[in-house]
Structure 1
Amino acid sequence: MDAVERIVYYEEICDDAMEKVSNLQKALDQYQRILPKFNELKEYYQSPLWRKDRDDDANGVIPQNLKRGILSEDGIWNLLTDEIEVLNRLKDLDASQP
């Protein structure tokens, strides 16, 4: 590879990396902003109040036309699992850097 090809090659890598790092920074900023409310959601999910709401839904107390996916164990469990996976990936990336 001559100098021109090399410069073009690495310039493309740099442009792509700059875009991806910028996107990641934005995503992390958004995650950081939602984190207090997300922690509140986690507390709700682990509380007796969530179990009461879920039982009320099963007993027809909660209106059927109300969006209530939060009462699904699988939905919130998947979200919590995804969060753990993302945080672990970030740790693994950090540990793999020289």
Structure 2
Amino acid sequence: MKNDKIKRVEEMERIMDKSADIFKELDAVLDKLEENLADYKKLDEYYSSENWFLDVEDFNNGVLPQDLKCGVLSEDGAYDLFGENHELAIRMVEIAAKMLRR
């Protein structure tokens, strides 16, 4: 039977390894997020532009191909994405504050 010290060190080692793996994954995802910010801004600007309204009108009038993937022309799709972005940003700030407070 292992003594308490060995169990404690093994447990802390598992926690350290798990945390290191999570931080590495998070860093990679944050890199992707940061790289995507310019494109995301472009989407946001498109969604509130005259071009978006013209594209929606063209789709509704059959000018655009019916098999064209065009979820971007849905008000709900973009609205949901922008809302999700907002909620994720708040969550990231809240988690960062917890991490800094320890």
Common topology (TM > 0.5): yes
TM-score, length basis structure 2 = 0.89
> Could you tell me which residue of structure 1 aligns to residue 21 of structure 2?
19
Residue type of the alignment partner of 1:35: L
In structure 2, the residue corresponding to 1:15 is in which secondary structure? helix
> Could you tell me which residue of structure 1 aligns to residue 67 of structure 2?
65
- Give unpaired runs (5+ residues) of structure 2: none
- Distance in 2 (CA, whole Å) between partners of 1:20 and 1:74 is 32
Deviation beyond 3 Å, 4+ runs, structure 1: none
1:31 to 19, 33, 38: 33
Q: 1:94 Cα shift?
A: 2.2
Residue type of the alignment partner of 1:16: K
C-alpha distance after superposition, 1:13-52 (max 9, x if no partner):
1111111111111000001111111101110001111011
> Could you tell me which residue of structure 1 aligns to residue 54 of structure 2?
52
In structure 2, the residue corresponding to 1:84 is in which secondary structure? helix
Q: 1:95 Cα shift?
A: 2.4
Bigger CA radius of gyration: 2
Counting matched residue pairs gives: 98
- Distance in 2 (CA, whole Å) between partners of 1:80 and 1:24 is 21
- Give unpaired runs (5+ residues) of structure 1: none
The yes-or-no answer on 1:77 pairing with 2:86 is: no
- Distance in 2 (CA, whole Å) between partners of 1:7 and 1:78 is 45
Over the residues paired in the alignment, what is the CA RMSD in angstroms? Answer: 1.2
